[in-house]
Structure 1
Amino acid sequence: MSNRTLKLVAIIAVVAIIFSAFNTYLILDSIRAQEQLNTQEERINELETSLEQFSAQSEQLEELQGALDAQEERLNELQSVLDDVAVQAEQLDAQEEQISELQTAINDTKDNLAEATSALSNLANQISALNQSTSTGLAEIGATLESLEGIISEISGLEEIVDQLLRQTPAEVYAATYRSVVVIRTSIGQGSGFLFNNQNTIVTNYHVVTNETDIEIEFFDRTRTQATVIGSDAYSDIAVLSVSSAPAEVESLSLSNQSVGIGQQVVAIGNPLGLTESLSVGYISQVNRLLNLEPIIVPILQLDLTIAPGSSGGPLLDLYGNVVGITNAGTDVGFNFAVPVNILKRVIPSLIDEGDYKHPFVGVSIVALTPEAIDFWNILNVDAYQTGLLVMDVVSGYPAEEAGLMSAVSTTAPDGSPGYTAMDIVMAIDGHTTFTIEDWSAYMEVEVSPGQVVTLTLWRSGVTSSVAVTTTERPPYLE
């Protein structure tokens, strides 16, 4: 054989050996895989057996749990029965105590009845004796009553005598008080004022000293001094000044504790047209007027006495020498005005202590309804004689808006003319009827303070309702 043939045979032999070895490897690997499969099948069979056992045990556990639940329900039922028995036992104990108490009460009642019977017997004897003395006692009581009536009559007479002694003539009032009145001079003119509270405090009108820093005070003895504004309120036209000193013989005036009335005689002292220490006598013509004079909003007294420029800020006095107002405005036809004492009492202490006064504010613009006003504003949905205060405008951000008040709505009448549809009409405030703006002002400025709740009675589309409004502070007046 040639070498080439030998090589070929050798290669074939090697390949055969390799193939035989690989085939042997595959056979052995197949045997091992089969063995592993057999092992896994055995493991699976074991797991299936375990699962069957676990399932059987779970069923047994469920049966045991059911038995336990049944036992627990039975125990609960038994406990409930025991609780009922305990309650009944307590009730029996309580009933026994009540029976014992009732028995004791019955015994006490028997004793009391015996005592009452004895007392009634004694009372009957006393009544019999009293009947005998009644006629005498009644006669004595009648005499005592007659005596008391006589004493009361004498006291009334004494009160009238005391009142007559205290009441003075206008001349006597003037003599006792004119020294307390001062002249106030500023860069724009002059006015009047009076000493109040102590010798260092002077009360006058706001408009007399508005925006003034150079204020001169002249006293009755012609001495002069400078004054400083320590508090002022434009809405009530009141200001309080401070001076370093005043003449020793000057006494401060006091505010009256009595309200003023129509027909009451009053005295004004002031400096009209520079005529110092002038006396004017007259009567109160009306109360609770509203001046059409910005920014005054408080109710004002109407007077028939004479007031002229220079009188503003002077005291209005009753016949006991007490201040019942501050004169603050006059007219050419004899009607003059003063800020009343009920306003002074609210405002002046606040000006002294705080420097200002907070007025209550609801936040509405109102118009008093009269036939003339209804015609002027062309209110379309009310009767010609409707009364009350028509809400014309509600100020944004203030209590009236928060309370839901509604302003009149601008509209056009059937004839093409401009008009209004009334929405809310204020008929009363806290039960006080409001026919006029004066009615509103008199109540708000005298009875209400910021933060106070007022109840408004409203007419709205023919239906009456009540609305609570919490007042706030009126915004400061801007010059």
Structure 2
Amino acid sequence: MYFKKSLLTVVCALFLFSCSNSKADSQTAITSSSLAVSKNAIETQNEFVSVSNKLKDSVVNIRTKKTVYVNYYNPIEQFLYGRSEPRTEKKESGSLGSGFIISTDGYVMTNNHVVNGADEIFVKFSDGRELEAKLVGNDPEVDIAILKIQSKETFKPAEFGNSDNISVGQWAIAFGNPLGLNDTMTVGIVSAKGRSSLGIEKIENFIQTDAAINQGNSGGPLVDISGKVIGINTAIYSPSGGSIGIGFAIPANLAVNIKDSIIRTGKVERAFLGTELQDLNPQLVKQFNLSTSNGVLVTNVTEGSPAEKAGLKSGDVITQLNDSRVNSASQLVAQIASLRVGSNISLTYIRDGKTYKANTVLTKRAETPVSQAAAFSGLSLKTLTKQDIQKYGYSASMTGLIVTGVGSNTEAAKIGIQPGMIVRSINRVSVNSVEDFKKVYDSIQKGASMLILIATPNGSQYITLNK
């Protein structure tokens, strides 16, 4: 009996000793794990601090001033005398945005909508210095503008990364001036890439991020964990106007191509493929006997274009550009826009169920002569044709200029002018050609209000638009 009790005591002691050691080992493991996690967190934190230090002298706040002339009448005069002489009042307006230095001699990149129509532009640095800048050139189709600081100082440019190499899930860090709060940095990830068909810009291939982007962030850089610019913050999706984690940035490679063209020539030289494209739908996939909906349908090929030289025909389905898969027409347009004139490209396409590859060289997109089309205060106009009348359902006697495009975030867009509407007169002068419109337009003082007669298939109405 004594032996059994002694044996039981020894077993219990060994068990307790084992438990004690296990507990100690467990605590040691937890402590080691906590130290490792803590160390990783601190290292990540230090990376963010490093990015902030790297960009602080390159990111700028942008302030603009614009003079506008507003027509008004005196209601008291109208009441007392039955009439009131029209008056013009001069007012100043402005906007706030963001940008970043892209060269040591003071070139700055921002969004076109930040500086569009500005009479004066100022850039402010993190140390409080504010310098005047001038617009060098812009690209409304992508929403990029290039400024030049009026100073002989040497500046610190941000470094561009390769936006083609980004991955969904990687860090994305946004810099800018949201809601007037200078030198703000927010952190998130790349939520998606290749976003298009959103109706934000004419050419879209956005990087989507959940890094907080708000009003005033426009034009600021979106950078990776090494501090290299991968995008230019441009827009957000938000029912409330504030960030809900869905922001969009222009890919750096597209912006760099535009930047180089503007600085080199003062204008945008867009690469040209020469195709009209259509997105695929289930019906077209069935009709063309395709195994997938990936790709875009070629509906027309311009004579003598790079596409024709590559052997493309109407009815072909382009599935790949170089090493990138093509998912939509707007995506392919943006991919071409990100390439330089003279670039060699490879196209993969399907014809009659067989896959082909072809190489071609992108040429420069022809500039449209002013007699055929031109842009004024956010309105792109061209001479009305019989085809336009039939397409939009106007009467055969309709005259004027047809609206072919409306700049995003312009006054024209805000008051509801849309492609397909017709401009019949400006300041009560009838216009039947772009030259007619330009002659009157050029005689109007900048910032002054213009009276424009707009027609739709349902009727006509006068609107006012500031030059």
If the TM-score is normalised by the length of the shorter chain, which range does it land in?
0.5 to 0.7
From 308, 332, 336, the equivalent of 1:440 is 332
Asked whether the equivalents of residues 196 and 331 of structure 2 are also in contact (C-alpha less than 8 Å), the reply is: no
- For the structure 1 residues 341 and 464, does the alpha-carbon distance in structure 2 shift closer, same or farther, using more than 3 Å as the test? closer
Count of residue correspondences = 296
- For the structure 1 residues 172 and 291, does the alpha-carbon distance in structure 2 shift closer, same or farther, using more than 3 Å as the test? farther
Residue 374 (str. 1) matches residue 252 (str. 2)? no
1:77-476 alignment runs, 5 A limit: 168-186=46-64, 187=66, 189-198=95-104, 200-245=106-151, 251-256=156-161, 259-290=165-196, 292-293=198-199, 295-297=201-203, 299-332=205-238, 333-369=244-280, 373-375=281-283, 380-382=287-289, 385-395=292-302, 398-400=305-307, 405-407=312-314, 423-430=315-322, 433-437=325-329, 440-441=332-333, 443-446=335-338, 448-475=339-366
TM-score with structure 1 length normalisation? 0.53
- Displacement of 1:225 in angstroms is 3.0
Q: Deviations over 1:394-452 (max 9, x none)?
A: 45664445666443xxxxxxxxxxxxxxx222233457543444763575345x43244
Q: Deviations over 1:53-98 (max 9, x none)?
A: xxxxxxxxxxxxxxxxxxxxxxxxxxxxxxxxxxxxxxxxxxxxxx
Asked whether the equivalents of residues 178 and 269 of structure 1 are also in contact (C-alpha less than 8 Å), the reply is: no
- For the structure 1 residues 443 and 317, does the alpha-carbon distance in structure 2 shift closer, same or farther, using more than 3 Å as the test? closer
Percent pairwise identity: 31
2: CA distance, partners of 1:218 / 1:275? 12
- Displacement of 1:242 in angstroms is 0.9
2: CA distance, partners of 1:443 / 1:226? 34
Q: Which amino acid aligns with 2:296?
A: L
Q: Which amino acid aligns with 1:444?
A: I
- Displacement of 1:346 in angstroms is 3.1
Q: Deviations over 1:245-302 (max 9, x none)?
A: 3888x63322236843222213211111222222211111122322534644253211
Q: Which one has a bigger Cα radius of gyration?
A: 1
Q: Which amino acid aligns with 2:222?
A: L
1: CA distance, partners of 2:112 / 2:366? 17
Q: Which amino acid aligns with 1:329?
A: A
- Displacement of 1:382 in angstroms is 3.2
- For the structure 1 residues 269 and 396, does the alpha-carbon distance in structure 2 shift closer, same or farther, using more than 3 Å as the test? same
- For the structure 1 residues 470 and 263, does the alpha-carbon distance in structure 2 shift closer, same or farther, using more than 3 Å as the test? same
Name the SS of the counterpart of 1:348 in structure 2: helix
- Displacement of 1:317 in angstroms is 2.5
Name the SS of the counterpart of 2:56 in structure 1: helix
Asked whether the equivalents of residues 264 and 284 of structure 1 are also in contact (C-alpha less than 8 Å), the reply is: yes
For the aligned residues, what is the CA RMSD?
A: 3.6
1: CA distance, partners of 2:177 / 2:334? 29
- Displacement of 1:470 in angstroms is 4.1
Q: Deviations over 1:129-188 (max 9, x none)?
A: xxxxxxxxxxxxxxxxxxxxxxxxxxxxxxxxxxx9899432443244334322212335
1: CA distance, partners of 2:323 / 2:157? 39
1: CA distance, partners of 2:310 / 2:156? 49
Q: Which amino acid aligns with 1:277?
A: D
Asked whether the equivalents of residues 399 and 471 of structure 1 are also in contact (C-alpha less than 8 Å), the reply is: yes
Q: Deviations over 1:322-373 (max 9, x none)?
A: 323221111114211112333344332332222234232212222332xxx2
TM-score with structure 2 length normalisation? 0.54
Name the SS of the counterpart of 1:169 in structure 2: helix
